[in-house]
Amino acid sequence: MNGWLLAAGITAFAVAAVHLVGGHRDVVRPLLSCGLAAEPKRVLHAVWHMVSLDLVLSAAALVYLALADDTSATGPVAWFVAAHFFAYTVAFLVVTLSVGWPKPLLRLPQWILLLPVAVLTVAGAA
């Protein structure tokens, strides 16, 4: 068993749970009740669901890799998931820092949840 990948998978499941609960309350409900045109509103709603699925599937993959015997695919898949979570982290940081808000790192704190998954996954892949 790979403890680092297991920790990454459990953390990723926690991130998915926060996304599903907090995101539905703080993002989806306001989005669906705003005056945005129907098509862009529904595209953004679908993208939110896509991210939900992506987070859950990534978490499941990490737990599977952690519990499976070390296979030839463990390293490449783990590195892919790590890159994936690093990319999400960078996307949130770039968007947050480009707005010009005071104390921007706490305005969109999603990066704080995403970065540990990437770091734990790298530790498990190395």
pLDDT digits (tens, 9 = 90+) for 82-113: 999 999 999 999 999 999 899 889 999 999 99
Global pTM value: 0.92
Nearest one of 89, 67, 91, 65 to 76, comparing CA atoms: 65
Tokens of 52: 């939900």
Asked if 117 and 8 touch (Cβ cutoff 8 Å), the reply is yes
Q: Is the pLDDT of residue 69 over 90?
A: no
What are the residue ranges spanned by the domains of the chain? 3-125
Amino acid making up residue 38: A
Nearest one of 4, 88, 105, 104 to 51, comparing CA atoms: 88
Asked if 114 and 92 touch (Cβ cutoff 8 Å), the reply is yes
- Percent residues over pLDDT 70 in the chain: 100
Nearest one of 55, 54, 78 to 4, comparing CA atoms: 78
Average pLDDT over residues 118-123: 98
pLDDT at 111: 95
Across 2-36, b (16+ Cβ under 10 Å) vs e yields bebbbbbbbbbbebbeebbeebeeeebeebeeeee
